[in-house]
Amino acid sequence: MTGFGRASADAGERRLRVEIRSVNHRGLDLKIRGAEPDAFCDAEIARAVRAAVERGAVTVHVRDESAASSAGVDGARVREVFQVLELLRQELEIEEPVTLATVGAFMGTSPRSELGGEALWEALGPAVATALAELRTMRALEGAALAADLGTRRARLEELAGALRTRTTALPEKFAHRLEERLGTLRQQAGFDPGRVTQEVALMAERLDVSEELVRYETHLHHLADLLRAQEAVGRKLDFVIQEIGRELNTIASKAQDAEVAGLVIDAKAELEKMREQAQNVE
């Protein structure tokens, strides 16, 4: 599911901004981006995200707002950097003078990153937690809308299950009667075996019986309803149940060999495919 969360934190003399975005993904794809990567902080951010999010492409941005928030030119900072560079020039006996371009290049770095590791995470952790909470709130709102849509489609699949049961109930008898009529003209032929014909007719009628497949289909629909009411993460379970419903529909269409049943199965599979697409967004 999609979502966004942000928060800020003071880390020493720096002001850090945390932004966390998520978009749809089958699994959890996490990317952490910061101006100054810190292995300890990155590991803690990853741990926090994995505890809060199970599915989605999640990107965590950590930005230093200190330079961006300062208006104009920091004259004191320019002088400080110039003095340090000038001392280094004299110490290293470099003939080229220190210019404003050189000062600007060094000011582009972050010399005041005195915090790192556990100390940096102690300052940054609360902001990450706040951003994740905001992200989860947005995802929960989207999840409620998805649940409503999936519930409507599940109800439609249940209607189609009823129509399939009504249509397929008479199919074995219908096809057996048709075969009897067709074979009636063959009963007078030499070598005709009435017992074998009866067995083949009975076998054909049994093969056309899809009652077991319909029972499993309806059972999966009830399981689907339970998942849509659940409060925990059910995205992967939805994928599995939808896949099982599709298998039962394929078997029903294959065994029934009936145009009306085929039409009902196509309608059901169209709804199922829409559910499959939506289920990719569900955590």
CA distance 206 to 173: 10
DSSP-derived 3-state class of residue 56:
strand
Angstrom distance (rounded) from CA 222 to CA 205? 29
Structure confidence at residue 114 (pLDDT): 61
| pLDDT value of residue 257 | 78
Element (H, E) at 234: none
Q: What tens digit of pLDDT does each residue of 60-107 get?
A: 999 887 654 454 567 777 888 888 888 888 888 888 888 888 887 776
For residues 108 and 85, what is the distance between their CA atoms, to the nearest angstrom?
A: 14
Q: Which residue ranges in the chain fall short of pLDDT 70?
A: 35, 66-73, 107-115, 172, 174, 176-208, 283
pTM greater than the 0.75 cutoff: no
Check residue 125 and give left, alpha or beta (phi > 0: left; psi -120 to 50: alpha).
alpha
- Whole-angstrom Cα distance, residue 59 to residue 21? 5
In angstroms, how far is CA 202 from the centroid of its own chain?
A: 48
Specify which residues 62 forms β-bridges with: 18, 34
Q: What are phi and psi of 60, to 5 degrees?
A: -110, 120
- Kindly list the domain boundaries of the chain, sorted by start residue: 144-279
Residues 36, 113 contacting (CB under 8 angstroms): yes
Pairing relationship of beta strands 56-64 and 28-34 according to DSSP bridges: parallel
Report, in angstroms and rounded to the nearest whole number, the Rg of the chain calculated over CA atoms. 34
* pLDDT (0 to 100) of residue 11: 80
**pLDDT attached to residue 18:** 92
pLDDT at 111: 47
Containing 30, the helix (H) or strand (E) segment is: strand 28-34
DSSP state of 112: T
Strand arrangement of the beta sheet that strand 14-23 belongs to: 3-11, 14-23, 56-64, 28-34
Helix axes 39-52, 117-169, angle to 10 degrees: 30
pLDDT on residue 194: 59
Q: Cα separation of 163 and 117, whole Å?
A: 63
- Whether the Cβ atoms of residue 244 and residue 272 lie closer than 8 Å to each other: no
CA distance 148 to 138: 16
